[in-house]
Amino acid sequence: MTVALRKPHELESAPLETAGVAAGRRHGRGAQTNRSGRYEPIAYEPTDDGWESLAELEALATEVQEVPARRIITKNESPDIGFDRSINPYRGCEHGCIYCFARPTHAFLGLSPGLDFETKLFAKTNAGQALERELAEPGYKVRTIAIGTNTDPYQPIERRYRVMRRILEVLSAANHPVGIVTKSALVLRDLDLLTSMAKRGLVKVALSVTTLDRKLARAMEPRASTPDKRLETLERLVDAGVPASVMVAPVIPGLTDMEMERILERASSTGVTQAGYVLLRLPLEIGDLFTEWLTANCPDRAKRVLSLMRSTRGGKLYDAKWGERMVGDGPYAWMIGRRFEVAAERLGLNKSSVELRTDLFTPPVLKGQQMRLF
C-alpha cells in the first residue's frame, strides 16, 4: 500500500473506488470515504501499489480518546431553534448516520467528517464535574438544557463511559430542566432518573425516526437502534410517565418522505402526543458524503433524490438561511410541511406543549463552598 497526496479540491472529481475505503474495512459504518476535512492543505488517501495490500488492512475499529472539558454548556443564539444552551457529552458519533449535520465539526480537529467521525471519538469524561461547577456559578440563570442536538448522548460508547448518566445525575440533583434527543434505546437504562425528573416536570425525551424500513435504516444509520426498537422505547417512556415525542428527522425527499404519515401513525399508537420534523440538511462536507452514500446504496433513486433536494433549497443542495434551513423552501418543501400538519391534526398530535419547570432549581454546593442562604 502507498499513500497518495492530493490537494483537497482534486478529490472532488476523484472516483469513489480511488477516494473510497474498501467495503470490508468500513463494514457497519455509514460513510463510504474518509476524505480530509476542509481545513487540511493536503489530503491523504490509500492507493493500491500493485501488491493488493489494501485487502490486508483490518476493519476500522472505534477509537475513543478521553478529553477533559473546562466548560460543558454551549450557548447559541440561533433564531430558529427553541433552546439557547446545549451539552454534547461526546464528539463524533458511532451511530454513523450518513446525514448527520455534526459531521463537519470533525474538520476542526484535523479529522475527516467521513469515517473518522464514526470511528475516532472523544469522550468528555469529566462532564459531570464541569457541569456542577457551571451550575454553581453565582450568575447562572436556569433555562432548559438540550442534549442530543449535535451527537447522540446515547451512542454505543455510552454503555462504557456513562457520561450522559452522570450529567443526568447532576441535573436531577439540581432540579434542572433538560430536553433529550436520541436514536437509541439505551436511554431506557436511565429510566429511573428520567421517571423521577418527569414527576418534577424537569425532562422530556424525543426519539428520532427516519424510516420504518429496517434495511434502509441499517445502511443509513448503521449503529443506531432499529426503527421498531425506537418506537418500543417511546412506548416504554410514555408508560413510565416521561413526556416523549417523535421527530420525523430528517425527512429525505424521494427516499423517506413517503413514510411520514406511517411513522406518525406508529408513533401515535405508542401514546406520544408531540411530534416534529426536519428536512434533510447537507451543509459543507455532508453534501459530498451523502451523494456518495446515495450513489452506492440507492443508485436507482439517486438522481431524483438530489434533484428534489435542490428544489427545496433554491437550486442548491443546501441553504443555511435562518427560518428555512430546517424546513426548506419551494413547492415540494411546502407539500412536506402540509402533509405533516394534516397527519398531526388527524392523529391529535401537538394539541398542547410540554413546558418544563425552572422554579425548582437548586444550585449545586461544591466541596468547600459555603451553602447559600437565599
The pLDDT tens digits for 305-349 are: 999 999 999 999 998 888 888 899 999 999 999 999 999 999 999
> Would you state the pLDDT for residue 367?
77
Q: How confident is the model at residue 2 (pLDDT cuts 50, 70, 90)?
A: very low
Q: Find the mean pLDDT for residues 30-59.
A: 73
Cα 259 from chain centroid (whole Å): 20
Q: Find the mean pLDDT for residues 197-221.
A: 98
Look-up of cell digits 441499517: 218
> Would you state the pLDDT for residue 82?
76
- Mean pLDDT, the chain, rounded, equals 90
> Would you state the pLDDT for residue 168?
98
Q: Answer whether 261's CB lies under 8 Å from 342's CB.
A: no
Q: Give the other-Cβ count within 10 Å of 327's Cβ.
A: 17
Give the cell for residue 219. Answer: 445502511
pLDDT tens readout for residues 250-277 = 999 999 999 999 999 999 999 999 999 9
Q: Is 355 helix (H, G, I), strand (E, B) or coil?
A: coil
What angle is formed at CA 38 by the lines to CA 256 and CA 120, rounded to 5 degrees? 70
Residues forming a β-bridge with 64: 121
The four Cα atoms 213, 345, 350, 229 give a dihedral, to 10 degrees, of -20
Lowest mean pLDDT among 9-18, 152-161, 201-210, 340-349: 9-18
Q: How far is CA 164 from CA 66, 70, 103, 160, 170, in A?
A: 14, 17, 20, 11, 10
Q: How confident is the model at residue 83 (pLDDT cuts 50, 70, 90)?
A: confident
> Would you state the pLDDT for residue 42?
75
Look-up of cell digits 463552598: 369
Which has more pLDDT, 16 or 249? 249
* Domain-wise residue ranges, the chain: 2-346
Q: Find the mean pLDDT for residues 165-172.
A: 98
pLDDT tens readout for residues 211-235 = 999 999 999 999 999 999 999 999 9
2-346: CATH, from 3.80.30.30, 3.40.50.720, 3.40.50.300, 1.10.1740.10: 3.80.30.30
Q: Are strands 73-75 and 85-87 parallel, antiparallel or unpaired?
A: antiparallel
Q: How confident is the model at residue 25 (pLDDT cuts 50, 70, 90)?
A: confident
Q: Find the mean pLDDT for residues 117-140.
A: 96
Residues forming a β-bridge with 66: 123
Q: Are strands 244-251 and 274-279 parallel, antiparallel or unpaired?
A: parallel
> Would you state the pLDDT for residue 9?
44
Residues forming a β-bridge with 73: 87
Type of residue found at 355: E
Q: Is the pTM of this model over 0.75?
A: yes
> Would you state the pLDDT for residue 51?
56
> Would you state the pLDDT for residue 347?
98
Q: What is the C-alpha to C-alpha distance for residues 365 and 371, in angstroms, rounded to an integer?
A: 6
